[in-house]
Amino acid sequence: MSEDIQTGRDLATGDAGLRRGVMGGGELAAQAIANIAPSAVIAFTAAAIYTTAASGTWVSFALATVVILSVGYCISQFAKRRSSAGSLYSYAATALGPFGAYLTGISLLIGCFGIAAGSLSGSVAYSATLLNQLGIPVHGVGAQIVLAIALGSLATLFTIRGIRLSARVSLVLELISVSIIILLLVITLVHLGSDAFDADQFELSAATPSGIVVGMVLAILGFVGFSSADALAREAKNPYRAVPRAIMWSAAGVGVLYIFAAYTQVAALGPQLGESAQPLDDIATMVGMPTWFNPILNFGIAASFFAVVVAPMNVIGRILYVMGKEGVVPSAIGRTHPTHLTPHRALISVSPLVIAVPVVLYLLGVDAMDVVTWVDTYGTYGYMVAYAAAAIASVVFLRGINARVPLVWPAAVIAVASMAYVFYANVYPVPAYPLNVIPWLFLLTVAAALVWYWVLSRRAPAVIAGIGTSEVETLEGIG
């Protein structure tokens, strides 16, 4: 098959291909960090973890960072050797075969879709709060729907117009939001004076091992999507070096930020943290920040949520693009925009669904932040399965190419065991409605996708054989 090396244009099918070699390391890191949404996580997760981990909240985040770095280490073994637009879907194909790749890809699509749709609702909620603080009245379901359509459409536009544009938008938004929060946290420590050294947190006097582990489950959820830079490998400069670095350094950097933020919030609010609905707002009030700071803070959180809509949609677009080229989904989706060289058909196919999920739930009377919790939880199940599969695949892959990487075994064990525990902890004890229904909804979605796999295996076995093989380059001499 002939191909234009500069753009990846498929001269046989007319597919314009993805733009090659345009993403730098900073832009890849922006994609990874935006998919994590550290500002949004800091705004809520520490308070939730405190209810079980107490003074050990920062330890829960530290343990979660170790787990995520283990997952990242496994994924980076592929990224060092293979450049793919299919992310974990294509990686899994090298070791787990077509079925394993398909299951991994479907799980990752569910994860990205859930996080995008849930985060859209988060952006709606905080945008509405911001507008009200600025004196622009935004109330009612109608206003929420308008905001969801506007923000969802804007996110789609950014992803279609170009990967560099969407990555830079994500980078700017996350830099702004993280900078605002770091500024607040530093001011808080200065305000606390000698009390900034919280001995209880180092002695773990109010914490229990079981509480810290339960808190770790929530902390792990705060990292989902951290590996999303791997879907941009075909568009990256020096992908075999830049992508693994983006995956590992973004996880490590965000982990350090989480630990710092958790420590500061506990030091500032103490037991009140577990009861606070908006801990950052409470801290801003406590340290005497001017009234104009709260709108800035809410803008930062709204921007962080919006960046998380953009980042996973980039991943969805590229996985569906690869699946379209392989015939797993309609081949029309396996085409890119002739000018922007982005998977516009895949993005246009998915974006209405991303917008529709919060809109439908708003019409059913669900609070915007409850939408975030419910839909993000649905997406998280997908990420857990995909990460566990990738960890297993990394061991099989390295053995297959006779590569000696001693640390991959312990990393894979930590990754798989942790993902299994996170899944278990989210279904038992059985949570209250509707969280008790969400695991079944996830399994139903996977089952429906597996029915399609079965249909393909009967009608088009050649398609099954080619799963995960498109848009992949291998480092010379490897595999």
Instruction: Give the three-class secondary structure for 434.
Output: coil
Instruction: Judge whether 411 and 122 are in contact, CB under 8 Å.
Output: no
Asked if the structure places residue 333 within a domain, the reply is: yes
Report yes or no on 430 lying in a domain. Answer: no
The answer to whether position 20 is within a domain reads no
pLDDT band at 431 (very low <50, low <70, confident <90, very high): confident
pLDDT of the residue at 428: 84
Tens of pLDDT, residue by residue over 130-164, are 999 999 999 999 999 999 999 999 999 999 988 77
| pLDDT tens, position by position, 266-321 | 999 999 998 888 899 999 999 999 989 989 999 999 998 998 899 899 999 999 99
Confidence (pLDDT) at 2: 44
Residue 350: CATH number of its domain: 1.20.1740.10
Asked whether residue 290 is assigned to any structural domain, the reply reads yes
The confidence band for 15, taking pLDDT boundaries of 50, 70 and 90, is low
Asked if residue 185 belongs to a domain, the reply is yes
Express as a percent the part of the chain with pLDDT over 70: 95
DSSP summary character for residue 137? -
pTM more than 0.85: yes
How many domains does the structure of the chain reveal? 1
Residue at 444 is within a domain: no
Give the structural domain span for 181.
25-422
Could you tell me if residue 172 is inside a domain? yes
- Is pLDDT at 214 greater than 50 in this prediction? yes
Q: Is residue 372 part of a domain?
A: yes
- Helix axes 209-221 and 408-427, enclosed angle (nearest 10): 100
Distance CA 163, CA 337 (A): 12
Say if residues 309 and 119 touch (Cβ distance below 8 Å).
yes
* CB proximity list for 219: less than 8 A, separation 6 or greater: 45, 49, 60, 61, 63, 64, 65, 258
Determine the average pLDDT of the residues in 329-352. 93
* Closest to 318 in 3D by CA, of 11, 428, 326, 391: 326
Residue 4: pLDDT band by 50, 70, 90 thresholds? Answer: very low
